[in-house]
Amino acid sequence: MKIMSSIPFFETIIDKMRANEPKLKAIIAKYNPDLYIIDDFAGSPTLIHSKKPWVFLFSGNPLFVLKDDRTPPSCSGYPSNGDPSEWEEFKELGKDLFTKQSIKYNEWMREEGFPITTNNKAIIDSPYLNIYGYPEELICLQNKA
C-alpha cells in the first residue's frame, strides 16, 4: 500500500475516464440505451446523472465494498483469520488513497455541474440496483454487522 500511495493510481483512472467521456457521450447519442451498467471504480457523470436508470455491478475484490472490522483490508493480502491489529496501518493508508480519489472525482463532478459525493467511498452506489458477486459467507457477515 505504501508503494500505491506514491503512485497516482486512482487519479490516473479518473483522468482516463475523463479522457474517454466524449467518446462515451457519442456512443450514448448514437445508440440511446435504456439502461446503463457500470462496472468501474467510479461512475461517469454522463451515466449516473442521466435521466436513465443505471446499475452498479461490482466484479472486483469484494473487500473493496465490504467494510467490516472482521475482514482484512482489500488488496492487502492479509488472511481473513489473521491478527486484525496488523491491518490498521494498511487501513489508514487506504483511507488516504480513497480521500485522494474522492477529491479528484469531485473536482470532475463540480466542473461538469453535478453534485459532489460526500461519503468518501471509492465506489458510488446506484439508487436503482447494485450487484455484488460475493460468496454467501460475506453476505451473511455483512447482514450480521
Mean predicted confidence (pLDDT) in 35-55: 91
pLDDT score at 43: 86
Nearest to 29 by CA among 19, 18, 21, 37: 21
C-alpha angle 127/132/134, rounded to 5°? 155
Position 33 confidence tier, pLDDT thresholds 50, 70, 90: very high
Question: What pLDDT score was predicted for residue 138?
Answer: 63
pLDDT digits (tens, 9 = 90+) for 13-32: 889 999 999 999 999 999 99
Place of cell 435521466: 51
CB 124 within 8 A of CB 43: yes
Are 42 and 105 in contact, with CB atoms under 8 Å apart? yes
pLDDT at 35 over 60: yes
Structural domain spans, the chain? 2-144
C-alpha cell, 24: 462515451
85-119 burial, b at 16+ Cβ within 10 Å, e below that, comes to eebeebbeebeebeebbbebbbebbeeeeeeeeee
pLDDT of residue 127: 92
Give the pLDDT confidence of 57-107 residue by residue, as tens digits: 988 877 777 777 888 888 888 998 889 998 988 888 777 777 777 888 889
At residue 73, the pLDDT reads: 86
Q: How far, CA to CA in Å, does 40 sit from each of 49, 58, 79? A: 16, 7, 25
Give the per-residue pLDDT at 3: 55
